[in-house]
Structure 1
């Protein structure tokens, strides 16, 4: 278990809170295990009608905990798809109940790709969303190689992947990544309001609607393919250089990579 993930259920809404604000809600493998449990509960518990993701502090999530990933990449041996992060990704692929996200501050990597599995997203005006996988010499995950281009178009998605530059809240709405863009202090309240509205709708109708809008098996199959690419990159000299550069707060040097 992890104290950095908090859950509560009220009025049909299961709220999952990223609660590691001192680390910008960077997600560890222990946190992924709890996130997977909560997401699977949302799918299987009849008392849950909507899953709401939110965070404490000034960031939604800084993405994967780099120290965790350095340790996994250095260890070698196992498959990256055996890690708790993939338990969480599988739970997202299978989720057939509505998910809502409340996003303040930075949403990096999985902090953004998680949103592609949410049905209603509220972002702060000053939110900054990015997927800097290539900056870390990695590859897309969470079926984002399909879902991000489907939402914002190939050219925009490639630019976000390849350059790793962030977009703000208004751009996220304009590009279709979010439903609402509001002042930061209103994000949680508006996301909770939307979650309650959805929870009041006919649950079986909502569930069947979501199932028709997505192919869970295809998403999971793609996640496994992404995982192979991600895993091979994670143990590569490119990624080790990128991780070290990140830790040392310098630009990586890929001049010898080929």
Structure 2
């Protein structure tokens, strides 16, 4: 299924059990994101967040690419700096929705994850990639725009300051293996093993304790904003949850815990 759309550019959605798949699709443009795709992407995030049966999100691209940024043809209508600022603020709001999800988000990257595609991958919790994946924001030699502070801060945290700035200032692309060495990519796998690897990872994440996962994600968000952030409320929430009681009981009884999410 897909969010309502009338063109080739769309976000294709599919839920397989507890795993919610979001596929970026813009044939012939390496899945470059159009305004409509951004809106559908935001709607898809809201759909997933509202469905208690969804335990993991997998974001991927169609046809051998993740996403080649924003569809640049749309920028032809920009005549003022204010229009660019409004665009960046709109995209920042969508990425913030992605970051604030309480469930794990996996970016399954095959081919280029460039510009906005890289931003989406950076705002996911885990990136798994094929050997042909590449990552970058080559705007200094292409469009001549800029990225907002939130995206740069996220890239600094995920890739390291030195590597991020070298990539941005040289307008270069990182191959998958280098992105893995930087810590941005969790695992690089061969094309033939990619689908199985994504399925294994998403299935494993779908079996984890929802309260714990939500707390871990919130702790990560806080620490990226403030290394001295307090997490006492998150610890209280976990230790005071029914899932904690269930986890202890299941461990002592040598059985698989039945998580309730509260």
TM-score (norm 1): 0.77
Within 5 A, what are the aligned runs for 1:30-109?
A: 30-71=36-77, 73-74=78-79, 80-81=86-87, 85-109=91-115
Within 5 A, what are the aligned runs for 1:231-246?
A: none
Q: CA deviation at 1:55?
A: 1.5
Question: How many Å separate the matches in 2 of 1:166 and 1:213?
Answer: 27
Question: How many Å separate the matches in 1 of 2:149 and 2:195?
Answer: 24
Deviations 1:136-188 (A, max 9, x none): 22112482211111222211111111111111111111111111101123323
Q: Secondary structure at the match of 2:201?
A: helix
| Counterpart in the other structure of 2:24 | 18
| Counterpart in the other structure of 1:207 | 214
TM-score (norm 2): 0.76
| Counterpart in the other structure of 1:184 | 191
Q: Secondary structure at the match of 1:155?
A: helix
Root-mean-square deviation over aligned CA pairs: 2.4
Contact 1:52-1:192 within 8 A present in 2 as well: no
Structure showing greater relative contact order (alpha-carbon pairs closer than 8 Å, 6 or more residues apart): 1
Unaligned segments of structure 1, at least 5 residues: 220-258
| Counterpart in the other structure of 1:253 | none
Q: CA deviation at 1:36?
A: 0.6
1:173 counterpart (180, 184, 188): 180
Tell which structure's C-alpha radius of gyration is larger.
Answer: 2
Unaligned segments of structure 2, at least 5 residues: 227-262
Question: How many Å separate the matches in 2 of 1:215 and 1:40?
Answer: 22
Q: CA deviation at 1:83?
A: 7.0
**Relative to structure 1, is the Cα distance of residues 191 and 154 closer, same or farther in structure 2, using a 3 angstrom cutoff?**
same
Q: Secondary structure at the match of 2:68?
A: coil
Q: CA deviation at 1:39?
A: 1.3
Aligned length: 218
Runs of 4+ in 1 over 6 A off after TM superposition: none
